[in-house]
């Protein structure tokens, strides 16, 4: 046993100076219930109840009433989902049209997704859709939520409708089974997917991964190239009223549902 370990294997208390730094940070921050209320979780009293019920964590530790947080550095989660703390955060849902690139700047002077939403504050896309794919895309300046949504370990569902090249009988049962079970691509085997044939040659595909051009490559691998591809859902988000090129702001409830989906889908895919 190391000489620095106390008798009986007890974990030593952190050095006094570390406690002082942590206490100073807590004293200088904003009250947690105030920050949660500003983020749309209800009145301060409701937010206090969330804390008292043990549903709020700060940097991985269950928060207590009276806790203060540094909105620039602390990671706050409610029911396991990350909470955007900084004021001025925006969340846009865009129906990306064909021919628009998913980037902030294009060297070939093509129209980009950020050209379709307000210029200020500056936002970035959460994940990608290739130039020929249309459908739902999230743009935000919430870096923490973006990291959670795009990290492979969380695996938030994405749903697509794919029109594929095939004969009058549609996609074969063997190809559908292969898509569901996983197909071998150049960057490895895909995870199991939810796949159904809505009508001959029209597939509904739900994946948890976010590989480049994944749905197109999956369909190519089983011999049915994609002719048209539309993303219809991101986690709990769906909007059939948005026309191509249109966007809207997410509601507070939608942002909260999205953060909950991050944690739920991570649990489901473990």
Residue 82 has pLDDT above 50, yes or no: yes
pTM of the model: 0.72
SS3 for 220?
Answer: helix
- H or E stretch covering 268: helix 252-268
pLDDT, greater one: 96 or 24:
96
CATH number for the domain harbouring residue 60: 3.10.290.10
Q: Are residues 180 and 148 in the same domain?
A: no
Burial of 85 from C-beta contacts in 10 A (0-12 / 13-18 / 19+): buried
Residue 11 has pLDDT above 70, yes or no: no
With contact defined as beta carbons under 8 Å apart, do 158 and 232 qualify?
Answer: no
| Residue 3 banded pLDDT, cuts 50, 70, 90 | very low
CATH number for the domain harbouring residue 165: 3.30.70.1560
Q: Can you give the pLDDT at residue 146?
A: 83
Residue 189 located in a structural domain? yes
Q: Are residues 104 and 218 in the same domain?
A: no
- H or E stretch covering 206: strand 202-207
Highest mean pLDDT among 8-17, 23-32, 55-64, 92-101: 92-101
DSSP 237: B
Q: Are residues 111 and 122 in the same domain?
A: yes
Q: Are residues 229 and 175 in the same domain?
A: yes
Among 63, 82, 101, the domain boundary falls at: 82
Q: Are residues 241 and 230 in the same domain?
A: no
Residue 60 located in a structural domain? yes
Q: Can you give the pLDDT at residue 267?
A: 43
Burial of 79 from C-beta contacts in 10 A (0-12 / 13-18 / 19+): middle
pLDDT, greater one: 96 or 143:
96
Among 82, 117, 142, the domain boundary falls at: 82
How far apart CA 210 and CA 150 sit, in angstroms, is: 7
Go through 105-130 and write b for each residue having 16 or more CB atoms within 10 A of its CB, e for each that does not.
Answer: eeeeeeeebbebbeeeeebbbbebbe
Q: Are residues 131 and 196 in the same domain?
A: no
Q: Can you give the pLDDT at residue 266?
A: 45
Q: Read off the pLDDT of residues 62-76 as tens digits, 9 standing for 90 and up.
A: 998 888 888 778 888
Residue 257 located in a structural domain? yes
Among 49, 82, 115, the domain boundary falls at: 82
Q: Are residues 17 and 141 in the same domain?
A: no
Q: Which residue range(s) make up the domain with 162?
A: 158-234
How far apart CA 101 and CA 181 sit, in angstroms, is: 31
Q: Are residues 218 and 107 in the same domain?
A: no
The catalytic site residues sit at 130
CATH number for the domain harbouring residue 118: 3.30.70.580
DSSP 8-74: GGPPPPPPHHHHHHHHHHHHHSEEHHHHHHHTTS--HHHHHHHHHTT-EEETTEE--TT-EE-TTT-
Number of domains in the chain: 3
Q: Are residues 133 and 254 in the same domain?
A: yes
- H or E stretch covering 247: strand 247-249
Q: Are residues 59 and 169 in the same domain?
A: no
Residue 141 located in a structural domain? yes
- Which residue has tokens 């004969």? 167
Residue 165 located in a structural domain? yes
Q: Are residues 148 and 214 in the same domain?
A: no
Q: Are residues 230 and 165 in the same domain?
A: yes
Residue 125 located in a structural domain? yes
Residue 26 has pLDDT above 70, yes or no: no
Residue 135 located in a structural domain? yes
Q: Can you give the pLDDT at residue 46?
A: 86
Residue 2 located in a structural domain? no
Sign of the CA dihedral 82, 88, 93, 95?
Answer: negative
């Amino acid at each position: 046993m190391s000489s620095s370990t106390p008798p009986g294997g007890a974990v030593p208390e952190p050095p006094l100076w570390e406690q002082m730094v942590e206490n100073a940070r807590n004293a200088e921050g904003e009250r947690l219930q105030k920050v949660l209320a500003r983020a749309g979780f209800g009145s301060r009293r409701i937010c206090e109840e969330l804390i008292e019920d043990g549903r709020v964590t700060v940097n991985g530790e269950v928060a207590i009433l009276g806790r203060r947080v540094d909105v620039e550095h602390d990671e706050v989660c409610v029911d396991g989902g990350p909470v955007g703390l900084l004021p001025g955060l925006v969340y846009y849902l865009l129906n990306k049209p064909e021919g628009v690139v998913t980037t902030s700047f294009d060297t070939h002077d093509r129209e980009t997704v950020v050209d379709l939403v307000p210029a200020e504050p500056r936002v970035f896309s959460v994940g990608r859709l290739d130039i020929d794919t249309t459908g739902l895309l999230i743009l935000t300046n919430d870096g923490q939520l973006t990291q959670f949504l795009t990290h492979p370990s969380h695996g938030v569902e994405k749903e697509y409708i794919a029109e594929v090249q095939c004969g009058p009988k549609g996609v074969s049962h063997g190809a559908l089974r292969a898509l569901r079970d996983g197909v071998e691509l150049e960057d490895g085997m895909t995870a199991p997917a939810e796949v159904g044939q809505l009508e001959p040659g029209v597939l509904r595909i739900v994946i948890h991964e976010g590989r480049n051009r994944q749905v197109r490559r999956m369909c190519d691998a089983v011999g049915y190239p994609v002719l048209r591809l539309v993303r219809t859902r991101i986690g709990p988000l769906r909007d059939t009223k948005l026309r191509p090129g249109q966007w809207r702001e997410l509601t507070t409830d939608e942002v909260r549902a999205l953060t909950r989906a991050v944690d739920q889908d991570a649990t489901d895919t473990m």
